[in-house]
Amino acid sequence: MYRGFIIVIILIGTCFGVIAQSPKNTLLASQTIRGKVIDFVSEQPVIGASITLLSLKKGTQTDTDGSFLFGQTPIGRYQLQVSSVGYESQIISELLLESGKEMVLEVRLHTTSNQLAEAVVRAPSANLSGAVTSIQNISTEQIFRYPGTYLDPARLATAYAGVANSNDQANGLVVRGNSPNGMQWRLEGVEIVNPNHLSNAGTFSDRITQNSGGVNILSAQLLGNMNFLTGAFPAEYGNALSGVMDMRLRQGNDKKHEFTAQAGLIGIDLAAEGPIGKRGASYLVNYRYSFTGLLATMGVKFGGEDIRFQDLAFNLKKKKKKAGKFMLFGMAGLSSNIFEATRDTSQWIVQKDGFDIYFKNQMGAVGLTHGLNIGKKLLWRTVFATSSLKNTREGYVLSKVNFQRFLIQADSSARAKTSITTSLSYKFNDKSNLKVGIFVTQQYDELFSRSADKRANGAAMGLIIQPYANLHWTILPKLSTNIGLHYLNYTFNQTKSAEPRFSLQYQLSNNQTLSFSYGLHSQLQQPEVYFALATQNSAFLGNARLDLTKSRHYVLSHKYSIKKGANFKTELFYQQIFNVPAALLNPTFSTLNLVEDFTPEPLQNAGTGRNYGLELTYQQYLINGFYALTNATLYKATYKNNDGVERNSRFNGKHIFNLTFGKEWERSENRTLGTSIRVIWLGGFYEREVNEQASIDNKRLIYRNADAFTIKQPDYFRPDFRIYLKKSKEKYSRTLALDIQNIANYQNVSYSYYDILQNKIVRQYQMGLIPILSYRWEF
């Protein structure tokens, strides 16, 4: 622990040394701010909108294309106010203008009949979902500024109310007490396969997960608007129970070529963007190679493991006056994790030390989007995308006598999704609009998993058909509603669900809103649940006919805007979960507690669950050099099976407290020093009790099934720290940053297990102090 503190002190001293030695710039750097203002529903340009840079008191208006431009603007932080007759006024905060990159914005305005309402203050990332409750808008700038994110939107999401990380080593999201398996990942509005490297990271059994991993394959360099939904989703969202990470790609600069290079512990990033020809087309491409992979090529291992990953992502945009907007996008990632036991048995301390483990992950996605305005009121949008994922893992135990290897764990999985979605958005008038659409996805799953006591084996192919419709209606100047319906049909096993969605929002005053949302939601089972088999000779052929798990979500929300750039939000939530697969012979088993594991038993949709709680959030956007995000969540997550006993779910931590705040100082015209601190305090999750005596007698891990999830882990506590220096010259900008996760080196429990080498129960801990030094150059 003391060694870790010494390293941190040296790194911080190095950073401040660089800061102190940096010569002052004599030329004030400047850059361009430009963008476009469009209608939220029809995406038609808003002509004549007033655009004001508040700190400079400098204004302009949009032209006939909805475009605006501020040239030769001094670098720094800005707030941009946008207003137009018949539309809701907005103040966009946390805009960072640097000399190395133009700022290109797309502002979406909502129509309103209440012109006297205060301007809505928001971050640069827009709410594209239409949700009125349980929605967070994530911007790339926040990902770079907040501490402990690893430049990953999922890790940033854990700074919000109701969200906890399942384990430090991975980006699995526990939303309001739900398993990370309830999450869905989207790219450009379409569900894709797990878009994360190292999908076995942070799990108890080291097996493959379906919704998380060590780090997102998409580099933050490419990400644009991102919406993170945590409950009562609008009608266009289906096949998810707990949350949706809806990622959108940033479009490349269509006026000039720009480049970014970044090096740090996460990896080396190289990005390029710029125009293609002279007709508004653009490209954006990024390649990243992991720093741990570079170390591995030199024979240096990270935590005793050879960890490597690399990824490539791109998008190409083209706009044609009559044919509409086109965008071709793609991403691909390779990752591996190899652990090989030392052949000196005197160094074996825990049972993993006697294993050779090989894990590989391959993921790819490619798609095409098309948007076309038909007249002034109708928008037609279509997306075609295909994504695939393949994972393999082999675990060999070594003989202490001659190091002969025996394969005792083998896992392989493959998933492919080919989707087409099309939607029509029609704006009847300023008070009502209708969106109808359909998702058609062909999904293929293949799974093989074998260990000493259980196995899963199977394949499935079917269509997931999801039509939906949503009507937005402003009933009164201060009262609006969304009425929607979503339908899901999985043709592989003929399971289906009709799901009503509803929301109501009332403006209590110019700075207060009261909102309510309801939704019925459903989700397919995980492949390991469908394809679990009891034994090699059993007549039991798995659970492929299981129905969808379903959940009713209720959310009541109150938002109070305290002053410019600050708000206080309260949300009450209740989730009634039913149709949960439960074991016929084991009353304590429920799929609500699964992440990567499964059970070799017959299951039926007889289980239920309840998650409910209160979330309190205070947010101050970055204004005058200061920002804060603090929240508290009190919740309870339980489940029931055939015996009617209500038990704690695995993720019933009961409380989540987050405190994040930061400060920036302008040290000179072209240099900014910033720091940020985040403190996380979570209630410990529950785990199964290990039967120590039975485990010792049988030389393998055995649980007390009758006492499942009765052992509460100690509370989780972690402080993170970030310090950065931004410097700008006339044609480029640089950022030097030191990000320290768990600066106190606090030991947080991961899980407990029986270790055959130590012949006792051993506690495994999560990650300790991790310093990440990075350097970013934009030009």
β-bridge mates for residue 736, sequence order: 725, 775
Residue 4 confidence (pLDDT) above 50:
no
Q: What is the pLDDT of residue 18?
A: 44
Q: What is the pLDDT of residue 599?
A: 87
CA quadruple 740, 746, 747, 749: dihedral sign: negative
> What are the two backbone dihedrals, phi and then psi, of residue 488, each rounded to the nearest 5 degrees?
-125, 130
Taking residues 126-142, report their average pLDDT.
89
Contacts of 281 (CB under 8 A, 6+ apart): 254, 275, 316, 317, 318, 319
Residue 122 confidence (pLDDT) above 90:
no
Q: What is the pLDDT of residue 82?
A: 95
**Following DSSP, what letter does each residue of 140-183 receive, concatenated?**
HHHHHHSTT-TT-HHHHHTTSTTEEES-TTS--EEETT--GGGE
Q: What is the pLDDT of residue 296?
A: 87
Q: What is the pLDDT of residue 540?
A: 53
- Beta strand 103-109 with 30-39 is parallel
- pLDDT category at 9 given cuts 50, 70, 90 is very low
Per-residue pLDDT tens digits for 319-352: 888 899 999 999 999 999 999 999 999 999 999 9
Residue 537 confidence (pLDDT) above 70:
no
Side chain identity, residue 748: N
Per-residue pLDDT tens digits for 349-401: 999 999 999 999 999 999 999 999 999 999 999 999 999 999 999 999 999 88
Q: Which of 246, 130, 231 is nearest to 520 (CA)?
A: 231
Q: What is the pLDDT of residue 500?
A: 98
Q: Residue 669 corresponds to which tokens in the numbers above?
A: 């015209």
Q: How far apart, in whole angstroms, are the C-alpha atoms of residue 44 and residue 323? A: 15
Residue 109 confidence (pLDDT) above 50:
yes
- pLDDT category at 8 given cuts 50, 70, 90 is very low
Residue 242 confidence (pLDDT) above 90:
yes
| Residue that is written with structure tokens 């390779």 in the block | 334
Q: Show contacts of 695-703: CB within 8 Å, 24+ apart.
A: 695/754, 695/761, 696/754, 696/759, 696/760, 699/756, 700/452, 700/453, 700/754, 700/756, 701/753, 701/754, 702/754
| Residue that is written with structure tokens 């890790």 in the block | 155
Taking CA 215 as the corner, what is the angle to CA 211 and CA 220, rounded to the nearest 5 degrees? 110
Residue of higher predicted confidence among 421 and 114: 421
Q: What is the pLDDT of residue 778?
A: 95
Per-residue pLDDT tens digits for 668-685: 778 999 999 999 999 999
Q: Residue 265 burial (CB < 10 Å; 0-12/13-18/19+)?
A: middle
Per-residue pLDDT tens digits for 477-530: 999 999 999 999 999 999 999 999 999 999 999 899 999 999 999 999 999 999
Are 227 and 129 spatial neighbours (Cβ–Cβ below 8 Å)?
A: yes
β-bridge mates for residue 94, sequence order: none
CA dihedral 110, 115, 119, 124 (to 10 degrees): 20
Q: Which of 47, 34, 72 is nearest to 255 (CA)?
A: 34
Q: What is the pLDDT of residue 301?
A: 85
Per-residue pLDDT tens digits for 557-608: 999 998 878 999 999 999 999 999 999 888 899 999 999 988 888 999 999 9
Are 554 and 571 spatial neighbours (Cβ–Cβ below 8 Å)?
A: no
- pLDDT category at 303 given cuts 50, 70, 90 is confident
Q: What is the DSSP letter of 114?
A: -
Taking residues 167-180, report their average pLDDT.
96
Q: How far apart, in whole angstroms, are the C-alpha atoms of residue 457 and residue 408? A: 16
Per-residue pLDDT tens digits for 440-473: 999 999 999 988 778 889 999 999 999 999 999 9
Query: Strand, helix or coil at 54?
Result: coil
Q: How far apart, in whole angstroms, are the C-alpha atoms of residue 111 and residue 120? A: 13
Residue 14 confidence (pLDDT) above 60:
no
What's the mean per-residue pLDDT of the chain? 92
Q: Which of 516, 427, 557, 425 is nearest to 86 (CA)?
A: 427
